[in-house]
Amino acid sequence: MYFQTKSKYHNVRQDYGGYNYASKKEANRAFELDVLLKAKEIVRWERQITLPLYIMSRHWRDYRIDFIRWEENKDIVLEEVKGFETSEWKMKRDVLEIIMDNPKSFEYKQIAQKIGAKKNQVIKYQVIK
């Protein structure tokens, strides 16, 4: 007999644009990003990019960010869509925020390289609740 169990955080997986998202909120954000793209308010966006997190030049963990968007003004925005804040996510968020505050650090440069940021290109981090 097969029983479907509920998600630990009560999220409902959702399909949009040929992809399966972890929640309705995440799928809705993908739709919003498509609208922004069609309106030419952003240049492009990507989903589920794994970023390496370094602490003191040593690889600590990987962080799978929900979305990355490239804006018209050349800024890059890392987006995390959250309905429920887990302790592990809070820890990764705190490390990423510290890294983003120091663009000259090795750690920042690793993230910039992973997402293809050019020298002096601004990278921002945003949580969408």
Residue 8 scores a pLDDT above 80: no
47 exposure class (CB count in 10 Å sphere: 0-12, 13-18, 19+): middle
Cα separation, 10 vs 102, in Å, equals 36
Residue 6 scores a pLDDT above 90: no
**Predicted TM-score (pTM) of this structure:** 0.87
Cα separation, 55 vs 25, in Å, equals 31
Starting at the edge strand that comes first in sequence, how are the strands of the sheet with 123-128 ordered? 42-55, 58-71, 76-81, 123-128
Cα separation, 51 vs 63, in Å, equals 5
Residue 5 scores a pLDDT above 60: no
Residue 98 scores a pLDDT above 60: yes
Eight-class DSSP state of 79 = E
Residue 7's pLDDT is: 63
| Max CA separation in the chain (angstroms) | 57
State mean pLDDT over 93-108: 93
106-115 and 87-100 are packed helices; what angle lies between their axes, rounded to 10 degrees? 100
pLDDT in tens, 32-87: 999 999 999 999 999 999 999 999 999 999 999 999 999 999 999 999 999 888 89
